[in-house]
Amino acid sequence: QRLEKERLEKERKEKKKQKEKERKLRLKKEGKLLSSKQKADLLRAKMSLQLLKESGQAVIGKTRKEGRLDKQDSAEDESKSDNISEPKDDDNNTEPLDDAEMVDEEEDQVEEEEFPDDWENIVIEDRKKKQQQQRQNAMENKKSSNKSTNDTTTGGSNKSSIDPDLSLSTSNPASRPPEKFRSPIICVLGHVDTGKTKLLDYIRKTHIQDNEAGGITQQIGATFVPPTAINEQCKHVKSKSELKIPGLLIIDTPGHESFSNLRSRGSSLCDIAILVIDIMHGLEKQTIESLNLLKSRKTPFVVALNKIDRLYEWRSNVRKDVEDLINSQQSNTKHEFNTLKQKVIVQLAEQSINAALFYENPDPRTYISLVPTSAHTGDGMGNLINLITHFTQTLMAKRINYLLDPLDATVLEVKAIPGLGTTIDVVLVNGKLREGDKIVLAGHDGPIVTQIRALLVPQPLKELRVKSPYEELRIVYGSVGVKIAAHDLEKAVAGLNLYVAHNEAELERLKTMCWNQFGSAMKAIKCSDKGVYVQASTLGALEALLQFLKDSKIPYSGVRIGPIAKRDVMKASIMLEHSPDNAAILAFDVKIDRDAQELADQLGVKIFMADIIYHLFDQFTAYKENLRKQRKEQNRHLAVFPCKLRILPNCIFNKRDPIVLGVHVEAGTIVSGTPISVPTKELDLIGRVTTIEHDHKTVDQAKTGDEVCIKIEHCTSDAPKLFGRHFDANDLLYSRITRESIDIMKEYFRDDLEKSDWQLMIELKKLFKIV
CATH number of the domain that residue 659 is part of: 2.40.30.10
Q: Per-residue pLDDT for 144 more than 80?
A: no
Answer for the pair 359, 239: CB distance below 8 angstroms, yes or no.
no
385 and 491, same domain (yes or no)? no
CATH number at residue 296: 3.40.50.300
* 145 assigned to some structural domain: no
pLDDT in tens, 203-246: 776 443 333 344 554 555 677 788 888 888 898 898 888 888 88
**Domain assignment present for 180:** no
- Give which of 88, 91, 79 is closest to 40, Cα–Cα: 79
User: Over 60: is that where the pLDDT of 415 sits?
Assistant: yes
pLDDT of residue 102: 42
* DSSP-assigned letters across all residues of 497-513: EEEEE-SHHHHHHHHHH
Indicate if 552 and 664 belong to the same structural domain: no
* Highest mean pLDDT, choosing among 476-485, 696-705, 718-727: 696-705
Provide the domain limits for residue 21: 2-130
Work out the number of other CB atoms within 10 angstroms of the CB of residue 76.
Answer: 21
**pLDDT digits 0-9 by tens, 687-709:** 999 999 998 899 988 999 999 99
Residue 399 counted as domain residue: no
Is residue 427 classed exposed, middle or buried when 0-12, 13-18 and 19+ CB atoms within 10 A define those classes? buried
> What is the Cα–Cα distance from 471 to 468, expressed in whole angstroms?
8
* Cα–Cα distance for residue pair 476/455, rounded to 1 Å: 8
Q: With a cut of 60, say whether residue 159 has pLDDT above it.
A: no
In a shared domain, residues 220 and 287: yes
Q: Is 42 a residue whose pLDDT tops 60?
A: yes
Is 166 among the domain residues? no
Confidence of residue 580 (pLDDT cuts 50, 70, 90): confident
pLDDT in tens, 400-409: 888 877 888 8
Q: Are residues 487 and 572 in the same domain?
A: no
533 and 470 fall within a common domain: no
Please state, in angstroms and as integers, the Cα–Cα distance from residue 507 to each residue in 97, 486, 495, 510, following that order: 71, 17, 20, 5
Q: Give yes or no for a contact between 302 and 388, defined as CB atoms under 8 angstroms apart.
A: yes
pLDDT of residue 130: 57
| Strands of 468-615, DSSP E | 470-473, 475-477, 480-486, 497-501, 532-536, 556-561, 584-588, 606-610
* C-beta of residue 213 within 8 angstroms of C-beta of residue 460: yes
Distance CA(9)–CA(21), nearest Å, equals 18
pLDDT, position 453: 93
Backbone Cα Rg of the chain: 41
In the DSSP assignment, the letter for residue 723 is: B
According to the model, what pLDDT value does residue 628 have?
84
Q: Would you say residue 168 lies in a domain? A: no
Kindly report, residue by residue over 73-96, the tens digit of the pLDDT. Answer: 444 444 444 444 444 444 444 344
Instruction: Report which of 432, 469, 472, 431 is spatially closest to residue 454, judged by C-alpha positions.
Output: 472
Q: Are residues 290 and 317 in the same domain?
A: yes
List of residues 6+ apart from 447 with CB closer than 8 A? 440, 441, 510, 511, 512, 514, 515, 518
pLDDT, residue 96, reads 40
Q: Average pLDDT in the 156-167 region?
A: 38
pLDDT given at position 638: 86
Helix (H) or strand (E) holding 278: strand 272-278
**In this predicted model, what pLDDT tens digit does every residue of 420-477 receive, in sequence order?**
888 888 888 889 999 999 999 998 888 999 999 999 886 553 333 344 577 888 998 8
pLDDT band per the 50, 70, 90 thresholds, residue 316: very high
pLDDT-based confidence at residue 419 (cuts at 50, 70, 90):
confident
Does residue 347 share a domain with residue 414?
no
Longest dimension (CA), the chain: 171
| Residue that is last in its domain, among 582, 611, 634 | 634
pLDDT of amino acid 221: 60
**Which stretches of 554-593 are DSSP H helices?**
566-573, 575-578
Quickly state the pLDDT bin for 52 (edges 50, 70, 90): low
Tell me the H-state helices in 480-537.
Answer: 504-523
Assess whether pLDDT exceeds 50 at residue 99: no
- Determine the average pLDDT of the residues in 51-77: 47
Known catalytic residues? 256
Residue 355 CA to residue 301 CA, distance in Å, equals 11
Q: Under DSSP, is residue 152 helix (H, G, I), strand (E, B) or coil?
A: helix
Q: Residues 110, 227: one domain?
A: no
Q: Is the pLDDT of residue 58 over 80?
A: no
Q: Looking at the structure, tell me whether residues 504 and 598 fall in a common domain.
A: no
In this prediction, residue 31 has a pLDDT band, given cuts at 50, 70 and 90, of low
Residues 584 and 598 in one domain: yes
Residue 8 CB partners (closer than 8 Å, separation 6+): 96, 99
What pLDDT, on the 0 to 100 scale, is given for residue 725?
Answer: 85
pLDDT at 124: 52
Distance CA(645)–CA(686), nearest Å, equals: 14
Q: How far apart are CA 382 and CA 403, in angstroms?
A: 29
- pLDDT, mean of residues 100-129: 45
Residue 171 belongs to a domain = no
pLDDT of residue 560: 87
What contacts 699, CB < 8 A, 6 or more positions away? 692, 693, 708
Question: Is 140 a domain residue?
Answer: no
pLDDT at 173: 64
Between 151 and 366, the higher pLDDT residue: 366
The model's pLDDT over 583-639, given as tens digits with 9 standing for 90+, comes to: 999 998 888 989 999 999 999 999 999 887 778 888 988 998 898 888 888 888 888
- Collapsed DSSP state (helix, strand, coil) of residue 212: strand
Beta bridge mates, 587: 535, 609
593: CATH: 3.40.50.10050
What confidence tens digit (pLDDT) does each residue in 668-682 have? Answer: 999 999 999 988 887
Q: Is there a domain that residue 142 lies in? A: no
Q: Average of pLDDT values for 650-658?
A: 89
Query: Which of 130, 157, 177 corresponds to the end of one domain?
Result: 130
Mean pLDDT (whole number) for 92-109: 41
pTM, 2 dp:
0.58
pLDDT at 413: 78
| Rounded Cα gap, residues 380 and 372, in angstroms | 6
Asked if pLDDT for residue 185 goes beyond 50, the answer is yes
Q: How far apart are CA 36 and CA 42, in angstroms?
A: 10
Q: 197 and 338: one domain?
A: yes
- On whether both 436 and 361 belong to a single domain, the answer is no
How much of the chain is helix, strand and coil, in % rounded to 5?
A: 45, 25, 35
Beta carbons of 50 and 2 less than 8 angstroms apart: no
Query: What's the CA gap between 623 and 636, in Å, rounded?
Result: 20
Q: Of 634, 654, 670, which residue is a domain's last?
A: 634
Name the domain count of the chain. 5
* Contact in structure between 741 and 640 (CB atoms under 8 Å): yes
CA 637/CA 651 separation, integer angstroms: 28
Lowest mean pLDDT among 111-120, 296-305, 361-370: 111-120
Q: What is the mean pLDDT of the chain?
A: 78
Three-state secondary structure along 47-65?
HHHHHHHHCCCCCECCCCC
